Amino acid sequence: MEIVLAAFALLLATVIGFAVHRASLCNVRAVAELLSTKQAHMLGSFFKTVLWVIVVTYLIELLLQTGSPKPVQLWGLSMSALVGGFVFGVGAAVNGGCALGTLGRLGNGELRMLLTLFGLVVGLASAGSAQLKRWLPSPHSVDLADSTYPTLAVIVPVTIALWALWEMGRLWRNRGIGLTWRQLVQSERYRLSTAALLLGISNGIIYFLFGPWSYTRTAKIAVNHVVMGRPGPEILFWFLFSALLGGVLLSSLTRRSFVLDWRPQIDWLRNLLGGVLMGIGVALTPGGNDVLILHTIPSGSPHALPAYAALLVGTAGGLMVIRMLGGAVTKVVCTGDVCRIGTAPKK
């Protein structure tokens, strides 16, 4: 049975990667849209993702009557959590992609993103070593009683569940008359709301079955295993990361957006620096935007929403500085629940 559930989880992780790529989801792009068009369609889709995770988790608990999902670790609100979120946001802006956006660009053939992942590990190792020597503060865990989830659990049955029914009906009515299921799946660009549904439901199920699995969290546990001698991550989490990346690559290949970019350039150092900053942010917060959106915000961790707000501020600040220095900025235009990504002229 465990093998069947693991295989199902791998399939869901692939769906998440596919949807992330087809909808071009990324926190950096969400902030770029907000700065350039004063709209927040993509940011709103992340909020919807959080709601879907809560709904799915609650419904599974209700149907199976287990009492609670897999045990989660909650973190207290602290200055290090806010600083970590801000630093991660700056790093994502420098890199040109957040945790999910990095995988999306890597799936498109941009091998420079491998430097981002390497930098992420370096940042995690450096911050972990500094935390071990007490040069940097470590996140402090809190009890489940401190979670905001009990409050949400009162609201879910009436408000969020009703919203979920309405949202599913709206998506079905606007699916595109005359299109087959195959044509819908193979759509060149997914609607943000569709991607949010796929991310939220798929992650909610994986989260319930196996607990927090996001790849920045897995990387943090792996690095802490080496640096601090703590227990390492479950092997399944590495397979889930591979399935996530596989879903991105599958989307890129079937959409024919894969273009191998392998010739190193000096500009690639931005990705290395961005990755290092993101790794430091993950260690301090703890967690990147993937952990915050898919796990700790839905779980009601006290640090999550403030840290995510700090992450958005850091990203916005980083993008504005890059623009002031004459760097290329991402242009995101979202209409009809679909986003198109380009590069705005340098200023």
pLDDT digits (tens, 9 = 90+) for 251-310: 999 999 999 999 999 999 999 999 999 999 999 999 999 999 999 998 888 999 999 999
Q: Quick one: 343 exposed, middle or buried, by C-beta within 10 A (0-12, 13-18, 19+)?
A: exposed
- First-residue to last-residue Cα distance in the chain: 57
With residue 330 as reference, give the H or E element that holds it: strand 329-335
User: Could you tell me if 170 and 32 are in contact, meaning their C-beta atoms sit under 8 angstroms apart?
Assistant: no
pLDDT digits (tens, 9 = 90+) for 121-165: 999 999 999 999 999 999 988 876 666 555 555 566 678 888 999
Number of domains in the chain: 1
Q: State residue 336's pLDDT score.
A: 80
Q: Which domain holds residue 327?
A: 2-344
| Range of lowest pLDDT (100-109, 118-127, 171-180) | 171-180
CB atoms within 10 A of CB 66: 11
Q: Residue 343's pLDDT band (boundaries 50, 70, 90)?
A: low
DSSP 8-state class, residue 279: H
Task: Check whether 347 has a pLDDT greater than 70.
Answer: no
Task: Check whether 209 has a pLDDT greater than 70.
Answer: yes
What is the pTM assigned to this prediction? 0.92
| Range of lowest pLDDT (2-11, 122-131, 154-163, 166-175) | 154-163
Q: State residue 318's pLDDT score.
A: 96
Task: Check whether 227 has a pLDDT greater than 70.
Answer: yes
Maximum Cα interatomic distance, the chain, rounded to a whole number of Å: 62
Distance CA 162, CA 144 (A): 26
